[in-house]
């Protein structure tokens, strides 16, 4: 068992902006009771930031496909379905076929015919009471048709929910409808959210006029992944004896024993389902557990979904993470560990473990196993399912009615009406005083343009006995789903208060804390801007905004709080103009012919084949075994960075045990395809990412190890990496200076530069551009860079990682403006955007790409991967696991296309043709008389107009 896997698998997903708090939930549910304390939200955030590095996550818990409809395609007859006051029968395609372009020839599909209908509401129904919960969003996807003598031309087909209550009247919830013409299958698509908990929930399809037959081929309803129970359907399961009905046959212990049980702990532990469960016992290592060999059953490049029920037992451990892991051996005996799923298991109940995986290469051996709890604690397993993942239809583009862009949703924001609309969260005191700025905070001004002045009134909050106490408002009814809100305010510490103190605009969205912007205040002498953004993507029951953060006893003031919907399209128009202005160049093609014949008047067609602006992606060793990945990558990117393969813990997991093989193989692929590469990273200052042997070194040995790392790596790859991230995330960690003193960072830069002067030495950090992390504000980043430069460090570039949520252009741009004053090139080094809705994800990416292209300081954009299941953040992929380009991917390709310049016209009387275009490679076609000549040329980057001689 390699230590390597131990290291990777202990690193889990970070939730950047969201924290859950039961306490907050209580406050939300009982908002009038002000005595309920909230934990310090800001400290909660710190835990997330410092413990979990953002760009190094190997566990991918992608959205699982849980179709809550039983027998969704009638493969099991009419089981689970019920015809309401009418009749239903099944037919196979050979009996009643009509135009069905998507009919899969290898799989004959049945469909249901609902007939003898004499009311429009009669149709086919299924009881889904136990499979839905309130608050979750469900997507309905059905394939329907109509037939029958009484059908005119077309008919409406409607999806409806019937909600029954013991205490009140039955309600009907319209979900969606579609118009279906004769002889055609249509998709019926829609979403619903239950706002309460009915006693019975029935889904049904209805609609056509009496006498018309309703045809249904399939019905799927997918929950949004977190709460939806996965139906335990054994169909397609490749695990043998999954429920231990055949004892522990086909199972074995990985470094431990396994046993069969019908109960444990004096009957306290009973099977989740069926009669038996199994335990992995006498475990002496965290990686010991129960396993099954599934070699030969997994096809490469197919996505599999995994579901299990797990629990822990014994050794006084009440809660521990339990993980499903795949051990894969390649044909060359190369071993790989793939994290599939990770859940917090307890000793008191079964929890569901679920995840997805995909193998890029052809494995010779594959074993799935459970691991995680401390030695001595048993892992219990009841049922394991591994099957080819169902495809989930993507959510439709959200429809936003009356977004009211730019309208402040805060009531009595300017406090002209006392504290009306506001309440103190906790037993603090709110008073309205005067003396605050009368202009809007800059980021709000940038978005909103000219605005009437603020009132000069502010809220002074005193008598705070907890960090979370401050002024608050309920904004539940004002927040629209999927709309990006910009947050902006002035804040200041109260008289006599001393810093540093954080002030945070917090959103309580049901039980979750969402960060709407955060700033660190060091003095009480002046007003500071706090800005940020947020978005809600799931119907909340309650949304509260509250301003919190300073230590208990510290009073603070708030003025001009603005929360408003952002119109991204309006800004895009400005950014497009700006991009044309700063990125394009005037080009004159000067034609000459060898025989001095005239080509005056000839038709010219100029076509750009490639834009040379650096747009790159993160890739990893396993990705390049997948030829589909490679083809998308080399077609669409001209730069690369390796996810982990160059990191110190990867190249030297144990001291002296060097591994450059993975990096070499990636580098070869890039070189062969003319792709430039960033070196990420030589060191990483966040302690949790430092490998054990390095942590154990004394000062002297650590100094030597650092020297060896630098010489080893930079000599090995001299001239091959164009950039190096010298010491990653120095605003979020200080492992090296803590041990070796403040000069150690500058020394790393100096040595690296001496060893490979051809590479640009970068700083690289996260949450620089979004306003939500006071530790990495643009000002702090600038101070750090100037400090390094002062100490002689040859800092040549600024890396902004760009793992962003709900980006707002002007907020990002203002960070770029400030950093841009240093005159160093800025790169987005690890950009990704996460949203379950692909359209929203596409919009976020577009915001970031457009801001970057339109800003003169930005010289390159790297995205942090694009393939589902191979990204560090969930719901951020551009290409689905099995190779289908999704909406976010399509948007990216559209933008790339927009950034190719084309022109056409005629050669003028001085044999020239002028146009304005992006740097890159071009093709020009000149048509004169019957001759057509094609030439290639290159436009280099530059400010001056360029003359390109084209000779024939
Ligand atoms: C599963 O276990 C049964 C019972 O021991 C055995 O007959 C069968 O061969 C096993 N299957 C595999 C693929 O090992
Ligand atoms: C478990 O904890 C209880 C109470 O904390 C203690 O009495 C008992 O000795 C512990 N058992 C083990 C095996 O550590
Ligand atoms: C506020 O509550 C704290 C305890 O939660 C208490 O110590 C303090 O006296 C209260 N202050 C006021 C003004 O009621
Ligand atoms: C303050 O807000 C009120 C409405 O809430 C508005 O009538 C008034 O004009 C505003 N005053 C200023 C100075 O913005
Ligand atoms: C609240 O603070 C103010 C001054 O900041 C003080 O005068 C007042 O007595 C305090 N009230 C309570 C209940 O502590």
Report pLDDT digits (tens) over 384-411.
999 999 888 888 899 998 999 999 999 9
Cβ contact 528:521 at 8 Å: yes
Which of the residue ranges 94-103, 242-251, 708-717 would you say has the lowest mean pLDDT? 94-103
How far apart are the C-alpha atoms of 516 and 485, rounded to whole Å? 9
Annotated active-site residue 186? The verdict is no
pLDDT tens digit sequence for 526-536: 999 999 999 99
CB 103 less than 6 A from any atom of ligand 1: no
pTM metric for this prediction: 0.80
Residue bearing the CA closest to ligand 4, atom 11? 455
Q: In the annotation, is 830 catalytic? A: yes
Please report how many Cα atoms fall inside a 13 Å half-sphere around the Cα of residue 277, on the Cβ side: 24
| pLDDT score at 915 | 97
What is the rounded average pLDDT of the residues 806-817? 96
- 410-419, 422-431, 730-739, 927-936: the lowest-pLDDT one: 927-936
Q: Which of 424, 429, 556 to mutate to test the pocket of ligand 5 (most atoms within 8 A of CB)?
A: 429
Tokens of 290: 């129960």
- How remote is the CA of residue 241 from the centroid of ligand 1, in Å? 9
Please pick, among 729, 838, 868, 874, the residue that the annotation labels catalytic.
729
Among the options 529, 537, 830, 846, which is catalytic? 830
**Which ligand ends up closest to the CA of 376?**
2
Quote the tokens at residue 33. 């009771």
pLDDT per residue as tens digits for the range 229-244: 443 456 789 999 999 9
Share of the chain above pLDDT 90, in %: 75
d(CA 722, CA 761): 9
Q: Is the dihedral of CA 378, 327, 350, 270 positive or negative?
A: negative
> pLDDT tens digits for 879-919?
999 999 999 999 999 999 999 999 999 999 999 999 999 99
* Cα–Cα distance for residue pair 922/935, rounded to 1 Å: 8
Q: What CATH number does the domain located at 4-223 have?
A: 2.60.120.260
Q: What is the mean pLDDT of residues 84-108?
A: 55
Instruction: Look at 62-71, 523-532, 787-796, 930-939 and tell me which has the smallest mean pLDDT.
Output: 62-71
- pLDDT (0 to 100) of residue 74: 85
Is the minimum distance from the CB of 412 to ligand 4 under 6 angstroms? yes
Which atom of ligand 1 sits closest to the CA of residue 246? Answer: 4
Q: Strands (DSSP E) along 631-709, which ranges?
A: 639-642, 676-684
Q: How far is CA 30 from the centre of its chain?
A: 32
Q: Please tell me if the CB atom of residue 249 comes closer than 6 angstroms to any atom of ligand 1.
A: yes
Tens of pLDDT, residue by residue over 337-393, are 999 999 999 999 999 999 999 999 999 999 999 999 999 999 999 999 999 998 888
Q: Ligand 3 atom 10: the closest Cα is on which residue?
A: 427
Beta strands in 73-123 (DSSP E): 82-83, 87-91, 111-115
- Please determine whether the domains at 4-223 and 252-388 fall in the same fold group of CATH: yes
Using 50, 70 and 90 to split pLDDT, how confident is the model at 56? very low
Decide: 416 in ligand 4 pocket, CB within 6 A.
Answer: yes
Nearest CA to ligand 5 atom 13: 463
Residue 225 has pLDDT above 60, yes or no: no
Q: What is the pLDDT of residue 927?
A: 92
pLDDT tens across 407-437, in order?
999 999 999 989 999 999 999 999 999 999 9
Per-residue HEC secondary structure of 881-950 comes to CCCCECHHHHHHHHHHHHCCCEEEEECCCCCEEEEEECCEEEEEEEEECCEEEEEEEEECCCCCCEEEEE
Q: What angle do CA 654, 659, 663 make, to 5 degrees?
A: 135
**Nearest ligand, measured from the Cα of 317:** 2
CA–CA dist 49, 942 (Å, integer): 40
257 CA distance to ligand 5 centroid (A)?
65
pLDDT score of 704: 98
Take residue 842 and report the two structure tokens written for it.
Answer: 């596409």
Expressed in angstroms and rounded, the spacing between residue 527 Cα and the centre of ligand 3 is 28
What is the CA(347)–ligand 2 centre distance, in A? Answer: 15
User: Which pLDDT score is estimated for 66?
Assistant: 63
> Closest Cα to atom 12, ligand 1: which residue?
250
Residue nearest to atom 14 of ligand 5 (CA): 463
The pLDDT mean for the chain works out to 88
Is 427's C-beta closer than 6 angstroms to any atom of ligand 3?
yes
Protein fold of 423-566: Jelly Rolls (2.60.120)
Least confident of 4-18, 295-309, 610-624: 4-18
The closest residue, in CA terms, to atom 11 on ligand 3 is 427
- Residue 79: predicted pLDDT: 82
Give the pLDDT band (50/70/90) at residue 791.
very high
- Closest atom of ligand 1 to 240 CA is 1
Which residues form ligand 5's pocket by a CB distance below 6 Å? 429, 462-463
Ligand 1 centroid from CA 443, angstroms: 66
Specify the residue with its C-alpha closest to ligand 4, atom 4. 412
User: Candidates 410, 411, 416: which one to mutate for ligand 4, based on the most atoms within 8 Å of Cβ?
Assistant: 416
**Is-contact 816 826, C-beta < 8 A?**
yes
Given the DSSP bridges, would you call strands 858-863 and 826-833 parallel, antiparallel or unpaired? parallel
E strand map for 549-668: 556-565, 585-592, 603-611, 615-619, 639-642
Q: Where are the domains of the chain?
A: 4-223, 252-388, 423-566, 578-610+900-951, 614-898
pLDDT at 93: 54
Q: Kindly state the tokens that stand for 224.
A: 């949004």
Kindly report the protein residue whose alpha carbon is nearest to atom 3 of ligand 3. Answer: 465
State which of 414, 436, 437, 459 you would mutate to test the pocket of ligand 4, scoring each by most atoms of that ligand within 8 A of its C-beta: 414
Q: What is the mean pLDDT of residues 569-581?
A: 96
pLDDT at residue number 139: 87
- The answer to whether residue 754 scores a pLDDT higher than 90 is yes
DSSP 342-365: EEEEESSS-EEEEEEEE-SS--SE
657-665: long-range contacts, CB 8 A cutoff, minimum separation 24: 658/712, 660/716, 662/621, 663/717, 665/621, 665/624
- The three-class DSSP label of residue 951 is strand
Helix (H) or strand (E) holding 571: helix 568-583
Ligand 1 close to Cβ of residue 250 (< 6 A): yes
* 578-610+900-951: CATH topology: Immunoglobulin-like (2.60.40)
Cβ contact 422:473 at 8 Å: yes
| Ligand in nearest proximity to the CA of 436 | 4
Does 33 have pLDDT greater than 60?
no
Give the C-alpha distances (Å, rounded to integers) separating 192 from 144, 226, 875.
Answer: 19, 16, 21
Angstrom distance (rounded) from CA 261 to CA 277: 5
> Is the pLDDT at 6 greater than 60, yes or no?
no
**250 vs 61, residue with greater confidence:** 250
Residue to substitute in 34, 39, 426, 465 for testing ligand 3 pocket (most ligand atoms within 8 angstroms of CB): 465
Under the banding of pLDDT at 50, 70 and 90, the label for residue 483 is very high
| 240 pocket-lining for ligand 1 (C-beta < 6 Å) | yes
Assess contact for 678 and 725: CB atoms under 8 A. Answer: yes
**pLDDT band at residue 138, thresholds of 50, 70 and 90?**
confident
63 pLDDT band (50/70/90 cuts)? very low
Q: Quickly state the pLDDT bin for 11 (edges 50, 70, 90).
A: very low
Query: Is 772 a residue whose pLDDT tops 60?
Result: yes
What is 614-898's CATH topology? TIM Barrel (3.20.20)
Query: Under CATH, to which class is 252-388 assigned?
Result: mainly beta
Ligand with smallest separation from the Cα of 495? 5
Per-residue model confidence as pLDDT tens digits over 624-681: 999 999 999 999 999 999 999 999 999 999 999 999 999 999 999 999 999 999 999 9
Using the predicted structure, report yes or no on whether residue 97 has a pLDDT greater than 60: no
User: Any idea which ligand is nearest the CA of 249?
Assistant: 1
DSSP string, 421-439: T-EEESS-EEEEEE---SS
Q: Which ligand is nearest to the CA of 468?
A: 3
């Amino acid at each position: 068992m390699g230590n390597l896997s131990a290291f990777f698998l202990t690193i889990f997903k970070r939730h950047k902006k969201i924290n859950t708090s039961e306490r907050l939930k209580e406050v939300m549910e009982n908002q009038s009771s002000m005595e309920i304390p909230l934990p310090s939200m800001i400290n909660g955030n710190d835990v997330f930031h410092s413990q979990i590095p953002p760009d190094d996550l190997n566990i991918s818990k992608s959205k699982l496909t849980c179709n809550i409809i039983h027998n969704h395609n009638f493969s099991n007859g009419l089981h689970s379905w019920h015809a309401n006051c009418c009749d239903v029968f099944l037919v196979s395609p050979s009996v009643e076929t009509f135009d069905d372009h998507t009919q899969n020839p290898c799989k004959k599909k049945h469909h249901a015919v609902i007939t003898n209908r004499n009311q429009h509401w009669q149709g086919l129904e299924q009881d889904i009471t136990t499979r839905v919960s309130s608050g979750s969003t469900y997507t309905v996807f059905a394939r329907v048709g109509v037939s029958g003598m009484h059908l005119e031309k077309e008919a409406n087909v409607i999806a409806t929910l019937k909600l029954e209550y013991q205490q009140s009247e039955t309600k009907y919830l319209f979900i969606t409808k579609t118009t279906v013409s004769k002889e055609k299958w249509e998709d019926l698509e829609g979403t619903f959210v239950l706002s309460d908990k009915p006693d019975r929930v029935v889904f049904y399809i209805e609609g056509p006029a009496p006498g018309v037959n309703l045809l249904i081929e399939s019905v799927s309803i997918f929950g949004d992944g977190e709460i939806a129970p996965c139906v335990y359907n054994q169909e397609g399961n490749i695990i043998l004896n999954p429920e231990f009905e055949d004892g522990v046959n086909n199972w074995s212990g990985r470094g431990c024993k396994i046993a069969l049980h019908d109960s444990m702990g004096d009957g306290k532990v009973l099977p989740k389902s069926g009669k038996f469960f199994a335990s992995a016992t006498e475990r002496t290592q965290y990686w010991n557990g129960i396993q099954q060999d599934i070699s030969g059953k997994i096809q490469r490049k197919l996505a599999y979904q995994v579901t299990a029920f797990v629990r822990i037992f014994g050794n006084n451990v009440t809660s521990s993470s339990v993980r499903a892991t795949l051990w894969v051996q390649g044909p060359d005996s190369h071993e790989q560990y793939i994290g599939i799923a990770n859940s917090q298991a307890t000793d008191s109940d079964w929890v569901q473990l679920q995840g997805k995986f995909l193998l890029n290469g052809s494995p010779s051996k594959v074993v799935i196993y459970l691991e995680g709890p401390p030695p001595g604690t048993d892992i219990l397993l009841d049922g394991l399912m591994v099957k080819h993942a169902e495809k989930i239809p993507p959510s439709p583009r959200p429809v936003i009615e009356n977004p009211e862009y730019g309208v402040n949703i805060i009531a009595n924001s300017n406090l002209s009406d006392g504290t009306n609309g506001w309440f103190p969260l906790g037993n603090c005191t709110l008073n309205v005083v005067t003396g605050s700025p009368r202009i809007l905070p800059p980021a709000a001004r940038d978005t909103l343009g000219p605005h009437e002045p603020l009132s000069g009134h502010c809220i002074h909050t005193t008598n705070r006995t907890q960090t979370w106490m401050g002024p608050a408002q309920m904004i539940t009814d004002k927040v629209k789903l999927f709309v990006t809100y910009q947050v902006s305010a002035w804040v200041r510490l109260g008289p006599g208060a001393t810093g540093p103190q954080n002030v945070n605009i917090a959103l309580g969205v049901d039980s979750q804390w969402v960060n709407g912007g955060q700033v660190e205040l060091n003095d009480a002498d002046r007003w500071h801007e706090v800005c940020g953004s947020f978005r809600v993507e799931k119907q909340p029951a309650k949304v509260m905004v509250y301003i919190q953060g300073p230590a208990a006893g510290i009073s603070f003031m708030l003025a001009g709080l603005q929360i408003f919907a952002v119109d991204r399209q309006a800004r895009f128009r400005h950014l497009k103009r700006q991009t044309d202005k700063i990125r394009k160049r005037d080009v004159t093609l000067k034609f000459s012919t060898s025989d001095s014949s005239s080509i005056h008047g000839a038709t010219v067609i100029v076509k750009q084949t490639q834009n040379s602006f650096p747009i790159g992606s993160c890739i990893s060793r396993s990705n390049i075994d997948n030829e589909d990945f490679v083809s998308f990558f080399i077609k669409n990117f001209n730069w690369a960075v390796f996810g982990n393969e160059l990191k110190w813990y990867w190249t030297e997991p144990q001291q002296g045990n060097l591994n450059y093989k993975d990096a070499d193989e990636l580098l070869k692929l890039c070189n062969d395809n003319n792709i430039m590469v960033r070196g990420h990273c030589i060191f990483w200052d966040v302690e949790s990412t430092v490998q054990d042997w390095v942590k154990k070194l004394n000062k002297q040995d650590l100094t030597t190890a650092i020297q060896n790392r630098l010489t080893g790596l930079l000599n090995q790859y001299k001239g091959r990496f164009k950039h190096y991230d010298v010491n990653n995330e120095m605003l979020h960690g200080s492992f090296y200076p803590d041990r070796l003193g403040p000069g150690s960072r500058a020394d790393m830069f100096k040595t690296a530069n001496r060893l490979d002067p051809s590479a640009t030495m970068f700083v690289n950090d996260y949450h620089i551009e979004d306003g939500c992390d006071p530790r990495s504000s643009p000002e702090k980043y600038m101070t750090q860079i100037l400090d390094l430069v002062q100490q002689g460090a040859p800092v040549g570039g600024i890396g902004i990682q760009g793992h962003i949520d709900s980006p707002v252009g002007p907020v990002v741009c203002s960070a770029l403006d400030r950093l841009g004053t240093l005159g160093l090139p800025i790169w987005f080094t690890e950009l990704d955007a996460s949203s379950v809705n692909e359209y929203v994800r596409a919009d976020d990416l577009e915001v970031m790409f457009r801001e970057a292209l339109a800003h003169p300081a930005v010289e390159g954009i790297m995205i942090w991967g694009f393939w589902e299941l191979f990204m560090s953040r969930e719901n951020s992929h551009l290409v689905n696991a099995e190779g289908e380009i999704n909406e976010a991917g399509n948007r990216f390709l559209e933008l790339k296309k927009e950034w190719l310049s084309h022109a056409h016209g005629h050669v003028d009387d001085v044999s020239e043709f002028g146009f304005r275009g992006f740097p890159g490679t071009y093709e020009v076609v000149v048509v004169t008389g019957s001759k057509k000549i094609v030439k290639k040329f290159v436009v280099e980057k530059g400010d001056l107009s360029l003359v390109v001689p084209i000779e024939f």
